[in-house]
Amino acid sequence: MMAQIRIAIAALVLAATLITSAPAVASAYLQCAPFARMESGIQLFGNARDWWGQAAGRYERGNAPRVGAVMAFAPTRAMPIGHVAVVSQIVSDRELRIAHANWSPINGRRGQIERNVRVVDVSANNDWSQVRVWYAPIGDLGLRANPVTGFIYPGAGTQDSFGGDTSIAAITPDSDGTLARIVASVGN
């Protein structure tokens, strides 16, 4: 009888331990600004709509894309906090590729990283002030033109707060702790 009670108590303790130690599953949700900061090495903080102003006097700015530059989207009614993305390739004078986060829902989830994303300059003056961006749910460029404030260019020898080179060429996705650093920087 005592042996059965001990077995029952042990089983209850084991069950309680398994229930209370089960890990919580959290969905990673990444905003565009922390991703752009880590991808480009440009040390600006806050909402994407504020990056252009914050860059004044700290980083070179302009209206021509360069690999490694941050493309700063202006806020709109549909995008009130703006958006930032990093130029990864210049395809032609009116097309480029970017890396960014939190644009297209992927597998029904927002906050995902997208790389090699097509962007087309649709501005009347060929000045990158209006662009259309690939939108995964429709498998094509998005339906609306998005206003771009300009491009923020990283300084030479960009270093992150951990002392590592964060230029696009130096980062290999998910193999060097990039996502961990992005998550750690969100509160900064």
pLDDT of residue 30 exceeding 70, the answer is yes
Q: Where are the domains of the chain?
A: 32-185
Identify residue 146 by its one-letter amino acid code.
N
Taking the C-alpha atoms of residue 42 and residue 159, their distance in angstroms, rounded to an integer, is: 9
- The reported pLDDT for the residue numbered 180 is 58
**Where does the pLDDT of residue 118 fall: very low under 50, low under 70, confident under 90, or very high at 90 and above?**
very high
User: What SS3 class is residue 49?
Assistant: helix
Taking only the tens place, the pLDDT of each residue in 66-82 is 999 999 999 999 999 99
- The reported pLDDT for the residue numbered 171 is 42
- The reported pLDDT for the residue numbered 19 is 52
Percent of the chain at pLDDT > 90 equals: 64
Q: Which residue has the tokens 């980083």?
A: 59
User: What SS3 class is residue 122?
Assistant: coil
**Where does the pLDDT of residue 4 fall: very low under 50, low under 70, confident under 90, or very high at 90 and above?**
confident
User: What SS3 class is residue 169?
Assistant: helix
Closest alpha carbon to 50 in 37, 38, 67, 64: 37
- The reported pLDDT for the residue numbered 107 is 87
- The reported pLDDT for the residue numbered 14 is 56
Fold of 32-185: endopeptidase fold (from Nostoc punctiforme) (3.90.1720)
Identify residue 117 by its one-letter amino acid code.
V
Residues pairing with 85 in the sheet: 71
Note the Cα 67 to chain centre separation in Å: 16
Give me the helices (H) in the chain, please. 2-20, 32-40, 51-55, 178-185
The whole-model pTM stands at 0.70
- The reported pLDDT for the residue numbered 13 is 59
